Amino acid sequence: MPFMYGPQPVRRTVKFLEQGRLIFLERVRIMSLNFNTMGLRREAHKGMEDFVFWDLPRIIYKNPEVQVTLFKNMTPSPFIRFWLDGGRQVIMDTDSKTNTEILNQIIKTLGKTEEKLAQEAFMREQKETQANFGRNFPKWCICEVESQVPCPRIVELPKKMRGKYIVQEIASKE
């Protein structure tokens, strides 16, 4: 089957796309890549070409809210420009760098750290559990859960359910 020849089919699999390491911070809105595919100094643009071929599909898959644009054969030196919230821009020089160096530089400057990703995964897991309540969860108090005792600040608890009265009764019997 000719469809399965070459490096293209690997890049189309979900397993390959999910292996991406770069997840942008929330403030990144647009990423534009500028490089040449022909002409003089082609070796200086080779790393950027490989980055676009191998790493860009993973970045697009992992960051669907970020717009990505490519500008080919329009610049003397390769670079990446990011537009952030508020109109700020970040420009990265990628001249004569390999695709892994480019990816590591982007992860270091505009990617989420491993700790932040682990914390977000933990919070997402905790929000899905119905037993949790508090500031970071959908329900603030246990009294909002069905079949629980109403909140003592709204409805006063019976004296038999209050600890200090139970202790007083035991003390008075002795």
**Whose CA is closest to 61, among 104, 111, 16?**
16
Go through 49-72 and write b for each residue having 16 or more CB atoms within 10 A of its CB, e for each that does not: bebbebbbebbeebbeebeeeeee
Q: What radius of gyration, in Å, describes the C-alpha atoms of the chain? A: 28
Task: Give backbone dihedrals phi and psi of 108, rounded to 5 degrees, phi first.
Answer: -70, -35
Distance of alpha carbon 48 from alpha carbon 77, whole angstroms? 10
Distance of alpha carbon 157 from alpha carbon 162, whole angstroms? 7
Q: What per-residue confidence (pLDDT) applies to 107?
A: 96
Enumerate the H helices of the chain as residue ranges: 8-11, 14-18, 42-50, 56-62, 99-110, 114-128, 163-173
Q: What per-residue confidence (pLDDT) applies to 13?
A: 86
Task: Per-residue pLDDT tens, the chain, 174 aa: give them.
Answer: 455 666 677 887 899 899 999 999 999 999 999 999 998 888 999 999 999 999 999 999 999 999 999 999 999 999 999 999 999 999 999 999 999 999 999 999 999 999 999 999 888 877 677 777 777 777 788 887 778 878 877 888 787 777 787 788 888 887
Collect all residues with Cβ–Cβ distance below 8 Å to 35 and sequence separation of at least 6: 45, 48, 49, 52, 71, 72, 75, 78, 94
Q: What per-residue confidence (pLDDT) applies to 2?
A: 53
Which numeric CATH code is attached to 2-112? 3.40.30.10
What are the residue ranges of CATH 3.40.30.10 in the chain?
Answer: 2-112
